[in-house]
Amino acid sequence: MVWGDAMKRLVIISLVGLFGVLVLAGLLFVLFISDNPASISAAPTDSLPQVVAIVNGEAITRDMVEAEVKVSRFNVIEPLPPLTGDDLVRAQEEAVNQLITRHLILQAASRQNFVLDEAFVQDRVDLLFGTYGDEALNQALQQGGVTRADLSWWIREIFTVEEFTSGVIMAAAPPENRQQVYNDWLNDQRAAADINTYLHGEVQSLLALVGEPAPEFTLTSLSGQPVSLADYNGKVILVNFWATWCPSCVTEMPDYEQIYQQFGRAEGDFMVLGINFQEGRQHVQQYAGGLGLTFPVLLDRDGNVTNRQYQVTGMPASIIVDRQGVIFYRHLGPMSGETLLTKLAELGL
């Protein structure tokens, strides 16, 4: 789910500290109060335009992307080296995707006048970072090129998103349905939104939207063979984005394998393509073998297909492509076998 990816960031932040196991709810941090995201200490990356995306009329700026990249890697105990080259580009693209999703949720919260009390935010700060002391915190901030204002902006947004989604969007749902309620709600928000990105200097509508042609790609399979989306023209295709560090990714895949066996295989009218995000072949092969997967598992080693072409904002994510190569359904978060079967039935399977 989108929050699984976000909370993974928090684990990096407080990895050796007090709160190293918050994995499934939202990125965190801050100390001083600031209503506006401040620019980070280091100079912004020249390759990014000043405005990198607009979400329903609200701008996501270069400074916000740079702050997101640095704060999401901030670690008081073991500072991480700065990113450079392709690693930095991938991190910036991922940051834009995270910020777009956050903007959608924050805009919905604002429409309902949902605002966190500053005392609530400060309590979370004290809980997470109170034991480090000012000296260690200030030194880590300086090393990471992060300001306290950046941290304040970040933690306020993250906790607002977490509290709004859990306390408002999912509040009335029974525990077993909360995740599905959240996924459906976020999918609806994204589908209805007016979103443009400008990462590469020109206006770009988001790719991989429902009703649009699915972006073409060619990736390497676990057997070393190139596999393209176009190889399965005329079939209904489930494109599933996953990673071995994502628990819900691994738990949903046996359902997809079972449905693939029922409708797919070489002679069938249905194909599953499991796209792994930036992990090594041997490691992925062990997981795929352990799960008994027989559908193609492809390696997105540089993250281009996941981050740039399909702009996935969290793991897992699923795209269903119809027989004409058009995106029929887009699902953020874990998708049940029941949901997949329902969608396939709508496509005549």
Report pLDDT for 48. Answer: 66
Nearest C-alpha neighbor of 45 from the set 81, 27, 69: 69
Tokens matching residue 125: 């700060």
Rounded Cα distance between 247 and 150, Å, is: 30
Tokens matching residue 67: 């702050």
Query: Can you say whether the dihedral through the CA atoms of 223, 228, 231, 234 is positive or negative?
Result: positive
Interior angle at CA 196, CA 326 and CA 304, nearest 5: 65
Report pLDDT for 47. Answer: 60
Taking a C-beta distance cutoff of 8 angstroms, is the pair 248, 316 a contact? yes
Q: Encode the chain (349 residues) as per-residue pLDDT tens digits.
A: 333 443 334 333 333 232 332 223 233 222 222 233 332 233 334 566 788 888 998 989 888 999 999 888 887 788 788 888 878 887 888 888 889 999 999 999 999 999 998 888 888 777 776 677 778 888 888 888 888 888 888 888 999 999 999 999 999 999 888 888 888 888 788 878 888 887 666 555 556 778 889 999 999 999 999 999 999 999 999 999 999 988 889 889 999 999 999 997 767 899 999 999 989 999 999 999 999 999 999 999 988 899 888 888 778 899 999 999 999 998 888 888 999 999 999 999 9
Report pLDDT for 83. Answer: 86
Length of the chain in terms of residues written: 349
Phi, then psi, of 68 in degrees rounded to 5: -60, -45
- In this structure, the number of other CB atoms found within 10 A of the CB of residue 107 comes to 15
Q: What is the pTM of this model?
A: 0.62
Rounded Cα distance between 30 and 34, Å, is: 10
Which domains does the chain possess? 2-189 (no CATH), 208-346 (3.40.30.10)
Rounded Cα distance between 159 and 118, Å, is: 11
Residue at token pair 């000043």: 50
Nearest C-alpha neighbor of 330 from the set 183, 224, 205, 200: 183
